[in-house]
Amino acid sequence: MPATVTARPDEAQPPSTRPAGRRKRWVIGVLLLLGVIVLLGGIKAAQIGAMIEAGAAFVPPPEAVTSAKAEVAQWQATRGAVGTVLAVRGVTLGAELSGIVREIGFEDGARVKKGQVLVRLDTSSEEAQLTGALADAELAKLTRGRAQSLHAQGANTQSELESAQARAIQAEAAVANLRAIIAKKVIRAPFDGRIGIRQVELGQVVSPGGPIASLQAMDPVYVEFLLPQQALAEVKPGQKVRVRVDVFPKDTWEGALTTINPEVELSSRNVRMRATVPNADGRLMPGMFANVDVLAEGTTEVVAIPATAVLFAPYGDSVYVIEEGKDAAGKPGLVTQQRFVRLGERRGDFVAVASGLKPGESVVSNGAFKLRNGAAVIVNNSLAPQVESAPQPVDR
């Protein structure tokens, strides 16, 4: 039977290997993790580098735009203003004397002729007095005749003759006064025109100065407007004017500048002017708002482009000119160059270019807002809107 050896407590034990194995595993794990991180970092760095290289080599595709050519046009220089239509003659008819309305001789809005009876007031009292005054005047006339005959024969005195003459004159004056009162109670049209809505009725008592109706002479009419004092060097009486009103946007009326006020308004430094415009159809009515164009004599040659081609900015207006060139990748094609311009008069959808653009050059008419200097473009005019010098908006 083998003997069992029992160690004593005071004898030394051999050292353990477990802590050393655990540390080794930790080191290996950390090294593996670092390796994975380095590998992932390298992959991501390679991806970022590839993206940077692709971005540097990227060439944006050409932008689709519409184009228009800068064309030479003959424009008649104009001065625009806002005016008001006025009647050549316009009054509010009223009664000079009080009385009762017995007759109304017009319809609301009708055309009346000069001298046409519009309203008759009651004159029965004056007509009765006129009969007596006529009799007195006839008697005074006969008395004067007899006094003159007797004075020629020396049968009466000079004072008797003068008294008879004075009574005859007084009687005639009384007749004239009554006839004048009767005439004043008959209101007639002072001129040809269109009468407004009546403001009296039959049987109404009219007081002196009370309104009866408005009477306006409608053909021709005046159009008054203001222009700055600088316009005095360009306008003169007799120049043609063109008038438009919002009520009839498709129609225009032509007239002539007839009056230029001889003074400049201190508050605005503007000059008041008046044009006379034929109005046979009567559609221009006093009080209407009107757009007035004063037309200069002759025409001026301008370079015109669509107004949509202009980029308006505080530092200056510019357009993009389309030229043959190379894009960022070096491929030939159409490119744009930004060019600053100085603009002139605007007319309809067009604007005149005073400098910065030559006739025949092509500009971007739509889509300029998305361009930059040297950008490649593709011109597609199939959907380009129509450009007109006198556009007529359509309400749809």
Tokens encoding 95 = 């009664």
Q: Are strands 289-295 and 78-87 parallel, antiparallel or unpaired?
A: antiparallel
3-class SS at 38? helix
In this structure, what DSSP letter does residue 4 have? Answer: P
For residue 203, the enclosing domain spans: 78-122+185-297
Q: pLDDT grade, residue 5 (50/70/90)? A: very low
Question: Among 55-59, 195-199, 328-332, 386-390, which is the least confidently predicted range?
Answer: 55-59
Q: pLDDT grade, residue 56 (50/70/90)? A: low
Amino acid at 296: A
- Please indicate, yes or no, if residue 274 is contained in any of the structural domains: yes
Nearest residue to 284 (alpha-carbon basis) of 247, 238, 239: 247
Domain count, the chain: 2
Give residue-wise pLDDT tens across range 186-218: 888 888 888 888 888 888 888 888 888 888 888
Q: Are 121 and 145 in contact (CB under 8 A)?
A: no
**What is the reported pTM?**
0.58
pLDDT attached to residue 340: 92
Q: Are 302 and 389 in contact (CB under 8 A)?
A: no
Choose the final residue of a domain: 264, 279, 297.
297
Q: Do 226 and 350 have their domain in common?
A: no
Q: Do 318 and 306 have their domain in common?
A: yes
Q: Do 70 and 82 have their domain in common?
A: no
Q: Are strands 186-188 and 117-121 parallel, antiparallel or unpaired?
A: antiparallel
Rounded to whole angstroms, how far apart are CA atoms 104 and 9? 151
3-class SS at 175? helix
Tokens encoding 10 = 């005071």
- In order of 2, 11, 16, 38, the CA distances from 6 in angstroms are 13, 11, 20, 56
Contact residues for 70 (Cβ-Cβ < 8 A; gap 6+): 303, 304, 305, 353, 357, 358, 359, 360, 361, 362, 363
